[in-house]
Structure formats: C-alpha cells, structure tokens
Structure 1
Amino acid sequence: MPNTIFLLLSIGPLAMVLAMIASQRVGEANDAYTGEVTGRWVRSSTGTYGPTSHCMMRIRADEGRELTIEVNSRTYQSLGVGDRVVKAPGARWPVRSE
C-alpha cells in the first residue's frame, strides 16, 4: 500500500508536465500568423546520444509580436532573413508567402 501511494505521488507531477507540454504543442499547431523572418541560427548541444542541432528562427508577426520558434532543417534551409512567411492554423511550420 505505501508503495502504491509513493508511485502515484511520483507519477502525478510527471503526467501534469507532459500534459502541459502537449497542450503547448497543440497551441503552436493551431497558431496562425503572417510576418517576416528577422533572424535565424543553429543551436548545438551535446547530450547522451551525441551532438544535436536545433534550427531556430525569429519572426516578427504583422500584429507586432516577436516569435522565436524551432523549425526542422528543411524549413530552416528554405527560409532566409527578410523572407515573408505565413503559418496557417494546423500547419506545423511557416512557409514562404507567395
């Protein structure tokens, strides 16, 4: 019985953190904006499984907000500073505006 209580108390906070991360990801996917790429960089780190790269972009939305997002390498290569971008609701990454 004490082991069961300990297990529940230790898993509960972890489940809450995972739920918060999942809801944030859903919110990002439902976000929509148009704007301009104002910066881009690659952040590297070394972890347990070796080096990892994170492609980052800063976007100034037309509404005035500044966004710093992590994108996949294909999106990073296709967009440069000064490019106009649009992100549709449900899309994972922004794309170049036509």
Structure 2
Amino acid sequence: MSNTMVLLLSIGPLAMVLAMIAAQRVSEVNDAYTGEVTGRWVSSSTGTYGPTGHCTMRIRTDEGRELTIEVNSRTYQSLAVGDRVVKEWGRRWPERSE
C-alpha cells in the first residue's frame, strides 16, 4: 500500500466520528421545546484523567416527547423535578420558564 492510501484509511474513520459529533451538536442547538423536568440524576465514570460526572435530565415536552439530555452542571443545579422549562432555538441548554 502506498503511504497516501494508509493515510486516507487512518484519517477516514476519525473524520466520520467528528462529523457525527458536529451533527449532534447542531441538532441540539436547532431544537426548541417547552416542557417539564420529570427526572434528573448524576452518573460518574473514571477515565484517564480521573472521575468525570455527567448531569442528565429527563424532560417531557408539551407535545408529549420524552427527552433525556445531558446538561452542564450550572443548568443541572438551576432546575429541579417539576420545573417548567423552555429551550429556545439556537441555545444549547433549556432554562426555567418564567
């Protein structure tokens, strides 16, 4: 195999993974909904750099969809079960509804 072919075969899977991550981020930002927090929890895992916490929330939208989303710690601490939330188009995280 030529060096060019080896390079293409090694970079191809990495490019696909990066494209999938970018598509997921775009879909999260482009989503908009209103609803209620029905559950929340923190899970942790230990990796190369030590323990990592993952804050997760379950939201039931007014349209009846059940969403399970990973949020940052600030959003997690600001919302409780039963809170009404609104997620506007272009924003990363839902916020408490006024």
Give the TM bin, normalised by the shorter chain: over 0.9
Residues 39-50 of structure 1 mapped to structure 2, 5 A cutoff: 39-50=39-50
Residues 1-98 of structure 1 mapped to structure 2, 5 A cutoff: 2-98=2-98
Structure 1 runs not aligned, ≥5 long: none
- Match of 2:89, SS? coil
**TM-score, with structure 1 as normaliser:** 0.96
| Displacement of 1:76 | 0.4
- Match of 1:81, SS? coil
Cα deviation 1:21-59 (Å, max 9, x = unaligned): 101111101100000000000010000000000100000
> In structure 1, what is the Cα distance between the partners aligned to 2:42 and 2:20?
26
Q: How many residues are paired up?
A: 98
Cα deviation 1:58-96 (Å, max 9, x = unaligned): 000111111000111111011000000000001111000
Structure 2 runs not aligned, ≥5 long: none
